[in-house]
Amino acid sequence: MDSIYLYNATLINEGQSKETNLLIQSGRIAAIGSSISLPPGTKEVDLAGTVLLPGMIDDQVHFREPGMEHKGSIATESRAAVAGGITSYMEMPNCNPLTINAETLANKHQRAAQSSMANYAFYLGATNNNLEDIKRIDPAMTCGIKVFMGASTGDMLVDNRDTLEAIFSSTPLLVATHCEDTPTILNNERLFIQRFGEQIPFREHPNIRSEEACYLSSSLAVELAKKHATRLHVLHLTTAKELALFSSGDTNKKRITAEACVHHLFFNDSDYEAKGALIKCNPAIKKRTDQIALQEAITTDIIDVIATDHAPHTWEEKTRKYTQAPSGLPLVQHALLMLLELVDNGTFSLEKIVEKIAHTPATLFNVKARGFIREGYWADLVVIARNRKTIVDQSEIYSKCGWSPFSGHTFSSRIEQTYVNGKLKYDRGAFPDTSPGIALEFSERD
């Protein structure tokens, strides 16, 4: 395989920023340092003026395949992800058919092996009646069990307390939960429909999918995990109140971990006025005070990872009225740029961002040889120009849905290149190598 030499790079890795050079051989990082001897035929890339980061490992995306290809596919969404500096992703099971047994899981692996531009892993979905499938699953085939604890996603809603107890007590795998209490949401929704009829303003979304709904559900998840010593990962926290359920510290010492998503860190309820349905998502974007608390929880390590919850819908679907507009937004292409904007305004350090998008996801899921820029690790890398702007242009949105909540927005940085397994997959608006990524491998957790 080709050798690539990246030089004059400012490497941001493991809490440090340093000027150095890096040699990629056979897809892996062969050497890091100032005096590397290059094999003949090595391609040399001058990275002066850019920063080099480990690629983002996004532990929560919805790529819609199989069954909802009008919204997106593994091919289209992984392409957008790579353009956004995401080199590995973990994909959610609410496809059609649902990813709830070995067969449907294997089907996704086959599809991704053909068409995914990034490295991939898939969650196995829990339902009220697939406990035996969960117990039997080969741990190498999945990054974890996804439990929609009372979120309305059709058949995947697990609202039976006995089923929850059984899942939490019997799986050796990581349990990742979406926590929103359905009865609370349905009651709120009834009140808002009574008040507004079909014209519910989008700004009421966080009052329907309320703080109380989140807290009721996430506190139950934490309670069950403590009772059964489950390895629990609570996805997309959105409220200050829920943060009290989690503890600060090293991710690899925690049994209960937490995730926040880029849009909950970036937006708050004042943005509904301008963005409306485009930022309607579940759990909802909440108050400014919640946003600030989430940002602080990143810095204090209460929240372990940052993800996107990329969830594309078509423009036609998204521009319906409140009760019919589906929740979710396309984010993989701009997630890193959003976070860099928060670095620019002083919210985060760049080192902290790298930790939460690459290091801790790798640690948390025991991903083998990724998430860090280390010799011997896979060369999953992203090159970013911090002094070049990105104007979000409609024609350069790579998600199948073709829209973004950031249309017309100017980000302060630009993604220059993305390397996946040492291959240059994205290069300033071009995709020079569309070969597939590979399945993430997981080591046993201690």
Partner 1 sequence: MIFKGSHILSVDQFTRADIEKVFTTADEMRPYAQRECITRVLNGAILGNLFFEPSTRTRISFGCAFNLLGGEVRETTEVKASSLAKGESLHDTARVLSGYSDIAVMRHPEPGSVAEYAVASRVPVINGGDGPNEHPSQALLDLYTVKLEMATRGQGIDGLRIALIGDLKNGRAVHSLCKLLGMYTKVHFKLVSPPQLAAPEEIIVALIAKGHRVEICHELEEGIHHVDILYVTRTQEERFENQEEADKYRGLFRVNQSIYTEHCEPNTVIMHPLPRDSRSAAKELDEDLNQNPNLAIFRQTDNGVLVRMALFALILDVADKVHDYVHPVTWYTAKREPVPNQ
CB of 193 to partner 1, least distance (A): 7
CB nearer to partner 1: pick between 107 and 153 = 153
Encoded tokens for 46: 């001058």
User: What whole-number distance in Å separates Cα of residue 368 and Cα of residue 139?
Assistant: 14
| Residues, the chain | 446
Following DSSP, what letter does each residue of 300-315 receive, concatenated? TTSS-EEE--B----H
CB nearer to partner 1: pick between 69 and 317 = 317
| DSSP structure class, residue 388 | S
CB of 203 to partner 1, least distance (A): 7
Calculate the alpha carbon distances from 344 to 51, 355, 358 in Å: 14, 17, 19
Calculate the alpha carbon distances from 321 to 197, 204, 280, 310, 312 in Å: 11, 13, 11, 21, 17
Q: Which of 84, 90, 79 is nearest to 120 (CA)?
A: 90
Strand partners, 144: 123
Q: Which of 57, 236, 63, 226 is nearest to 143 (CA)?
A: 57
CB nearer to partner 1: pick between 14 and 155 = 155
Q: Amino acid identity of 10?
A: T
CB of 60 to partner 1, least distance (A): 16
CB of 213 to partner 1, least distance (A): 13
CB nearer to partner 1: pick between 70 and 228 = 70
CB nearer to partner 1: pick between 114 and 324 = 324
CB of 114 to partner 1, least distance (A): 29
Binding site for partner 1 (CB under 8 A): 151-154, 188-189, 191-199, 201, 203-204, 207, 282, 320-321, 323-327
CB nearer to partner 1: pick between 171 and 282 = 282
CB of 155 to partner 1, least distance (A): 12
